[in-house]
Chain A
Amino acid sequence: MRRKTPETATVARDLEQLQQIAKRLRVDILRSTTEAGSGHPSSSLSAVEVVTALYFGGFLRYDPKNPHWPDRDRFILSKGHAAPVLYAALAEAGFFPREDLMTLRKLGSPLEGHPNMARLGGVEASTGSLGQGLSIGVGQALAARIDRKDYRVYVLTGDGEIGEGQIWEAAASAAKYRLDNLTCIVDRNHYQQTGAAEEVLNMDPIDGKFTAFGWHTITINGNDLGEVVQALRRATEYRGQPTCIVSLTHKGQGILPLLEKLGDTNFHGKPLPAKYLDEALALLG
């Protein structure tokens, strides 16, 4: 029997409410990175549905008033440069006031360029050096087993990030210990820093690789909230193997027409210039 979500956690009534939340996260991502004048909005935007479903679709059990509650579920943002989507979710969930999002990347703010668990409650791993989050997730999933706790661990990686060998070392160890309390979501947004992920280092078939490593795999349209919710439900219920969700997404989802107009549909590691912010927000509806 799974413990109930603490009453302090936000759970959306229905898909429509989830969609409203997803839109707010997108707005926050764009506003906070434009205000910061640096950061990775496009990498954050592709993952909005996954993060929204995890935090507000009833999957993650957390207590924003007690971020270190030992029984909480863990979400590790292995692609740490997408910190703005994590911060937007934590603000929406009530870990800190929404205004704090505007301190992103500023001196003294705990909302650092990449997540730092030593300074911000709700951050479950300090990331930013790609390739490391899944191993940390394996460690947390093993700790749950030792302590006979039923918390679950979710790790989000990039599709370029899985070029790091450590990801596959972690994958093999998770399969060895049959960590069905661990879910890895690969944000398959088809781009990495220097170009198309398929061209820089083609890792296809990603699902086939995880299958070969002993994982249960699901492939979905990761920008469709309904599909994300269903896949997370299946992953949560699946027994005997860890699950990898290959989440097919678009980098910059939500503002794609603008990125096309700007001639850069990767838009890696740049904030939207302030003069395009209104146009971008209008696209979000």
Chain B
Amino acid sequence: MAGATSALQSKRPLGKATRDAFGRALEALGAERPDVVVVDADVSNSTRTEWFGQKFPDRFFNIGIAESNLVGIAGGLASCGKTPVIASFACFIMCNGYDQLRMAVAYPGLNVKVVGTHAGISIGEDGASQMGIEDVALACSLPGFVVVVPADEASAKAATRAMLDHRGPVYMRLGRPDVPKVYETDNPPFRLGQANTVRDGRDLTIVANGLMVAAALDAADQLAAEGIEARVLDMHTVKPIDREALKKAAQETGAIVVAEEHLAHGGLGSVVAMAVAELEPVPIRYVNLGDRFGESGSPEGLLEKFGLTAENLAAAARAVIAAK
């Protein structure tokens, strides 16, 4: 499709990957947070926890390729008052460690921070086996978990601090590629459970997270040229969802598009639909990966093939407005 622009081809200024921002933030927070212990399963050079490890070797453990064990160890550390941060690829930590997340972390409600990097199809060439596309659904299904999906470098940095400040289990989802900046400031507002309105509008609301926020802003530019004013919410916290922001969006704009780099089932779209259906039913359209695995290819090529471009968002916006 000519002229299809994914977030990775946006004209917005490019920032670092959210995994890089997390790695730097964790390293910086290590000194003021002696309770933080980082555990790795042989991927710290991918997740960027190696930067913390180099600075605080006494509080860093690499336990080998063993994600179930990784999660169990975190449960043990947390039960002794530590604040464990465990990171691996989103698919491995959530899928391989799921029963341990359920029993050793969620059930006792322990203060474990779970970080999944390389989420979504934008990892590109490595293909489906390395792509976490179900991680948000799985994390949301763990009672008591807070689930966070930051959109860019600055918000990933802020989210890392918020994750550590929160008492209780948190899942944070991060991406591999460098992504456009959504926020101009290095210190954007960031409160868990509180969406950021990154663009205001009255004709519809695009609710997005991760790299789809940048795509939503680009879509809003395209729509503005047609006289359609889109509000864009950076819904960085999927659980607990910001019900107030959704209610206002439904009442004031009357139509919603939800965009995420995730399967249709159980992600942001599902969570938003539940809230809107209860609070203020309005037409909703969804832009996501549907019900299929990813594959190998360039990140840009995949985002286009799987329908996650600004143009796809704009088309969904027109469709949802027509359904008002």
Contact = CB atoms under 8 A, between A and B. Distances in A.
A105 B125 contact: yes
A194 B129 contact: no
A165 B62 CA distance: 15
A165 B66 contact: yes
A106 B130 CA distance: 16
A114 B40 contact: no
Interface string B293-324: 00111100110010000000000000000000
B10 interface: no
B79 interface: no
B65 A164 contact: yes
B129 A37 contact: no
A127 B50 CA distance: 26
Given A107-B302, A193-B42, A160 B129 contact: no
Interface in B100-143: 124-130
Nearest to B126: A113
Given A80-B129, A106-B297, A116-B128, A164 B66 contact: yes
Contacts of A128: 126-130
Contact of A38 (B43, B125, B302): B125
A217 interface: no
B125 A113 contact: yes
B92 interface: yes
Of the listed residues A39, A113, A127, the one surrounded by the most CB atoms of chain B closer than 10 A to its CB is A113
A39 B124 CA distance: 11
A contact face: mostly helix, strand, loop, or mixed? loop
Contacts of A163: 42, 63-66
A213 to B, nearest CB: 17
A112 B128 CA distance: 8
B91 A106 contact: no
B44 interface: yes
B185 interface: no
B43 A194 contact: yes
Interface in B51-103: 62-66, 68-69, 91-92, 95-96
B296 A105 contact: yes
A112 B127 contact: yes
A107 B127 contact: no
Interface string A96-139: 00000000011111011110100000000011111100000000
A114 B297 CA distance: 12
A131 B70 CA distance: 14
A121 B92 CA distance: 26
Interface string A163-188: 11100000000000000000000000
B296 A106 contact: yes
Given A114-B126, A193-B46, 20 more contacts: A80-B129, A107-B295, A107-B296, A107-B301, A111-B296, A112-B127, A112-B128, A116-B127, A130-B65, A165-B68, A192-B65, A194-B40, A194-B45, A194-B50, A200-B42, A200-B62, A200-B64, A201-B63, A201-B64, A201-B66
Pick the 3 closest A-B CB pairs, nearest first: A128-B129, A201-B64, A107-B297
18 contacts: A39-B125, A105-B125, A106-B296, A106-B297, A107-B301, A113-B125, A113-B127, A113-B130, A114-B126, A129-B91, A165-B68, A165-B69, A192-B64, A194-B40, A194-B44, A194-B45, A201-B64, A201-B66
